[in-house]
């Protein structure tokens, strides 16, 4: 397999981790390039459930090297927790897990700003995960951030931490009018203790990636969240604070564009969204409840129920365009089993006009009415299907509809359940 980047084509939670796990077998180095512990990547292997927020999910495959790239904002305490959980499950990360020295840190004061900012927004809150992601990226671009590499020199780390802490205290107390009850000394004490454990993971990972590629190793770039949470191209302001699209893999890993040959877009067979913001195909009826229950659509980071709706081809077409997607991976097809009919949104109507394009701003997007094709569903359980030919004809028809509506881009795999084994290969790449 050539070097590939994996992205979500909707609002995140498309089941990327399962596809990453599948493609990890064909890769050598797996690199996360954006986001932070707002992500929740779940992989189930032989009934054992692993949930990752920061560590690339490829780590569960023996021998693979995993990198937390410079574009990620890293909560070091969360990172160590995941390392401990892996060790408890008998998975050694020794020598095959690295954090870029340039990755910015999410510190406890970022979470305090995130939570205070959400509270002060009231009705217009974003519905963030509360993990401090936005404030950490804000400090990065304001050039007052603290980076993983700063931990090498404790004095420098303390100096930067104290400046960030003071700025956060002002924001929380003066801007958001909220109490700021963090104890600077106590946090520094905690970091001084974990620092020794963290240092061996911190490397100039861009050199490692460059050398690995020159040595013929295959790279897999692991995106988090989804295209419509991208800070530029998503449904702003109801987005996350990083670029989630494939182009961000270059800046977030420190590679040039020619290092990526292939982009795989993960598409859930229906649509979900966590947090606030417009969602044209949302179902607030019993079908939406069924999708949530059967699809276990509850956030793996916050446990919040996800909003559920029909498949939206306008979104996925836009995602194909923005990411340069060469193959799709269709996930959670099994969740639709039992429905007598399934709706697929093909176009939008805005202010009486029909369009096949994504509207240019969120105000217009809020006024969108979806235009649907209604196609027959299938009754039987498909979670045991191993080959394409095992699927009922209605399910095959649904896959074909999606392909037709999405520029004819074929699916690489179709997932019919959370287990590794519940994956139908459409063909190899």
Residue ranges binding ligand IMP (CB under 6 A): 11-13, 38-40, 126-129, 131, 133-134, 224-225, 229, 238, 240-241, 274-275
Q: 198: cis peptide before it, omega within 30°?
A: no
Q: What is the distance between the alpha carbons of residues 272 and 149, in angstroms, rounded to a whole number?
A: 37
For ligand IMP, the closer CB: 39 or 328? 39
DSSP element (H, E) containing 330: strand 327-331
Closest approach, Cβ 273 to ligand IMP, in A, equals: 7
For ligand IMP, the closer CB: 206 or 300? 300
333 and 401 in contact (C-beta within 8 Å)? no
Closest approach, Cβ 166 to ligand IMP, in A, equals: 23
For ligand IMP, the closer CB: 115 or 326? 115
Residue 83: phi, psi to the nearest 5?
Answer: -60, -45
Longest dimension (CA), the chain: 65
What 8-state DSSP symbol labels residue 106? P
321 and 284 in contact (C-beta within 8 Å)? no
Query: What are the E-state strand segments in 201-314?
Result: 202-203, 219-222, 262-268, 271-273, 307-309, 311-312
Q: What are the percentages of helix, strand and coil residues in the chain, rounded to 5?
A: 40, 20, 40
Residue 221: phi, psi to the nearest 5?
Answer: -100, 125
Q: Please give the residue whose beta carbon sits closest to ligand IMP in the complex.
A: 275
For ligand IMP, the closer CB: 24 or 115? 115
Q: What is the distance between the alpha carbons of residues 306 and 249, in angstroms, rounded to a whole number?
A: 27
212 and 96 in contact (C-beta within 8 Å)? no
Q: Please report how many Cα atoms fall inside a 13 Å half-sphere around the Cα of residue 72, on the Cβ side.
A: 30
For ligand IMP, the closer CB: 134 or 295? 134
Closest approach, Cβ 126 to ligand IMP, in A, equals: 5
Closest approach, Cβ 137 to ligand IMP, in A, equals: 9
Closest approach, Cβ 36 to ligand IMP, in A, equals: 8
225 and 9 in contact (C-beta within 8 Å)? no
Show Cβ contacts of residue 73 under 8 Å, excluding neighbours closer than 6 positions. Answer: 35, 36, 103, 104, 105, 106, 132, 133, 136, 137, 140, 242
C-alpha closest to that of 197 among 96, 83, 105? 83
For ligand IMP, the closer CB: 3 or 246? 246
For ligand IMP, the closer CB: 224 or 412? 224
Closest approach, Cβ 106 to ligand IMP, in A, equals: 10
Query: Tokens representing 146?
Result: 């603290």
Closest approach, Cβ 132 to ligand IMP, in A, equals: 8
For ligand IMP, the closer CB: 212 or 291? 291
Please give the angle made by the CA atoms of 348, 349 and 355, to the nearest 5 degrees: 60
How many other C-beta atoms can be found within 10 angstroms of the C-beta atom of residue 166?
A: 13
Closest approach, Cβ 257 to ligand IMP, in A, equals: 25
- The catalytic residues are 13, 41
């Amino acid at each position: 397999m050539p070097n590939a980047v994996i992205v979500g084509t909707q609002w995140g939670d498309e089941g990327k981790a399962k596809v990453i796990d599948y493609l990890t077998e064909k890769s050598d180095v797996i690199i996360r390039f954006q986001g932070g512990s707002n992500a929740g990547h779940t992989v189930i292997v032989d009934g054992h459930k692993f949930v990752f927020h920061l560590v690339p999910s490829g780590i569960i495959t023996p021998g693979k090297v995993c990198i937390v790239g410079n574009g990620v904002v890293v909560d070091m305490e969360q990172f160590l927790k995941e390392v401990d959980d892996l060790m408890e499950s008998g998975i050694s990360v020794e020598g095959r897990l690295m954090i870029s020295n340039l990755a910015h840190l999410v510190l406890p004061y970022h979470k305090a700003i995130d939570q205070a900012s959400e509270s002060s927004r009231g009705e217009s809150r974003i519905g963030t995960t509360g993990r401090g992601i936005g404030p950490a990226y804000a400090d990065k671009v304001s050039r007052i951030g603290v980076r993983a590499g700063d931990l090498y020199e404790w004095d420098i780390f303390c100096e930067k931490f104290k400046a960030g802490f003071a700025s956060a205290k002002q924001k929380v107390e003066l801007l958001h009018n909220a109490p700021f009850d963090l104890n600077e000394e106590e946090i520094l004490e905690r970091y001084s203790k974990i620092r020794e454990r963290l240092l061996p993971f911190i490397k100039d990972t861009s050199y490692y990636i460059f050398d690995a590629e020159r040595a013929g190793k295959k790279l897999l770039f692991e995106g988090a969240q989804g295209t419509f949470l991208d800070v530029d191209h998503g449904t702003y302001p109801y987005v996350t604070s990083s670029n989630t699209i494939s182009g961000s893999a270059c800046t977030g890993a420190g590679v040039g564009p020619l290092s990526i040959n292939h982009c795989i877009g993960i598409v859930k067979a229906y649509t979900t969204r966590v947090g606030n913001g417009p969602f044209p195909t949302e179902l607030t009826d019993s079908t939406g409840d069924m999708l949530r229950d059967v699809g276990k659509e509850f956030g793996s980071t916050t446990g919040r129920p996800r909003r559920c709706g029909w498949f939206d081809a306008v979104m996925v077409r836009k995602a194909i365009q923005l990411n340069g997607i060469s193959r799709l991976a269709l996930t959670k097809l099994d969740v639709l089993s039992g429905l007598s009919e399934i709706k697929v949104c093909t176009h939008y109507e805005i202010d009486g006009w029909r369009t096949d394009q994504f509207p240019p701003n969120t105000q217009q997007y809020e006024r969108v009415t979806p235009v649907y094709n209604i196609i027959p569903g299938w009754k039987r359980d498909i979670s045991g299907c191993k080959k394409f030919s095992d699927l009922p004809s209605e399910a095959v028809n649904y896959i074909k509809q999606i392909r037709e509506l999405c520029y004819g881009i074929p699916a690489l795999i179709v997932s019919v359940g959370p287990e590794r084994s519940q994956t139908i290969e459409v063909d190899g790449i």
